[in-house]
Amino acid sequence: MIDYIIVGSGLAGISFAEMALKYNKKILVIDDKSQNSSRIAGGLYNPVILKRFSEVWQAQEQLRVMDEFYENIQSKLNEKFNFQLPILRKFFSVEEQNNWFSASDKKNLAPFLSTKLICTKYNGIDSPYDYGEVLHTGYVDTAFLLDSYKEYLLQNKILLEQFFDYGLIEFFDYGIQYKNITARHIIFAEGFGLSKNPFFNYLPLDGTKGELFIIRAPDLDLNVIINTSVFILPLGDALFKVGSTYNWKDKTDIPTQEGKEELLERIKEIIACDFQIIKHFAGVRPTVKDRRPLIGTHYSHKSLHILNGLGTRGVMLGPAMAKDLFNSIENGIDLNPEIDIQRFNKKYLQTLILDRP
């Protein structure tokens, strides 16, 4: 018998896999490559919502768990995925500067917002009102991380690259049986693929499509991340990742002309040099309307659990949410009500009762 079957090998799935392996649990990861949002993500981690100058929910704790997680996984795989890099918010007016300094006086934001204007002039960007610097920021190369971790799983023979058939789960007092595999628990970390999961698809996962570019801009001299209406992330060799759009209606991972035009318009508001689009890609983020993850245990099948809804902040949220779910299962520690799927169960169960003939 193994301890955990983990369905999905995106940021949520590998976060739980690492947490389980840390405590010597036996795992098996199953993934059919149907979801790509973790792979194409910008990978930025940023403790401040720059649109509103507000703190990301539980930012301090998320950063603490995240730093330890990526440090350990880099050491384990002997690769580097986590790159600490300043994020600069370009100001477009004196009013924006004033709003920044007002926010930096708030107790919860003071650790994250520098009170010193960044006056550096970057070739290719006009910045008459300078920049504000967000502290404790950077990015994770998510594609490289996922590829490297997949190789690790394959080498240790704990990854099956195949479709997961929900109909083959059999329930017993000790756990579950899936095909020829006996396990204590299943962790569903499928991202937007949750819509096909008959055990958890009642949850209000509302996928949000995002489109991004890789551009080449030889005249853009940038060694920091610029974040305004879009982010511009330097990759080296005059290449930059730029994103992202938000589309709440289209649930496909196909790049669109509409998304392309929106990104082009926003890029031209920030940089003032020529650039070439090298790649245009898209994915559907697993978002939730109340902006909190979906973490917890099924209301009747106690061997089934979910780790989902990480949205645009999977790099930061994944390790902390995996830790909370693991502690809930193994140590009986109650989940924060803000993330526990029980916040939706009452309404769902009432609907089931009302729908009965």
Domain boundaries, the chain: 2-40+143-204+289-355, 86-136+208-285
Q: What is the pLDDT of residue 357?
A: 43
SS (H, E, C) 172-213: ECCEEEECCEEEEEEEECCHHHHHHCCCCCCCCECCEEEEEE
Q: Give 259-288 pLDDT, tens digit per residue.
A: 999 999 999 999 999 999 999 999 999 999
Helix residue spans in the chain (DSSP H):
11-22, 37-40, 59-77, 94-104, 142-155, 257-270, 314-331, 342-355
Return the structure tokens found at 245: 């759009």
Q: Residue 351: which pLDDT band, with cuts at 50, 70 and 90?
A: low
Q: pLDDT band for 356, please (50, 70, 90 cuts).
A: very low
* 211: nearest Cα among 258, 245, 251: 245
How much is the average pLDDT of 200-209?
93
pLDDT in tens, 214-243: 999 999 999 999 998 899 999 999 999 999
Share the mean pLDDT of the chain.
94
The token duo for 151 is 């190789």
Distance, in Å, from the CA atom of 351 to the CA atom of 226, rounded to the nearest integer, reads 46
pLDDT of residue 33: 85
- Going by CATH, does the domain composed of 86-136+208-285 fall within 1.20.1630.10? no
Tens of pLDDT along 20-39? 999 999 999 999 988 888 88
pLDDT, position 36: 81
Contacts 24+ apart (CB under 8 A), 265-268: 266/229, 266/230, 267/213, 267/215, 267/230, 267/232, 267/242
- In this predicted structure, the answer to whether residue 56 has a pLDDT above a threshold of 90 is yes
Average pLDDT over residues 171-199: 96
Pairing of strands 239-243, 208-216: antiparallel
What's the CA gap between 161 and 179, in Å, rounded?
15
pLDDT single digits (tens) 157-183? 999 999 999 999 999 999 999 999 999
Which CATH code of 3.40.50.880, 3.40.50.920, 3.30.70.260, 3.50.50.60 fits the domain covering 2-40+143-204+289-355?
3.50.50.60
Judged against a pLDDT cut of 60, whether residue 355 lies above it is answered with no
Give CA angle at 309 (202, 56), nearest 5°: 140
Q: pLDDT grade, residue 41 (50/70/90)?
A: confident
Q: How many beta carbons lie within 10 A of that of residue 51, not counting itself?
A: 10
Residue 352: pLDDT band by 50, 70, 90 thresholds? low
**CA 6/CA 4 separation, integer angstroms:** 6
Q: Token pair 């309307």 is at which residue?
A: 289
- pLDDT value for 216: 97
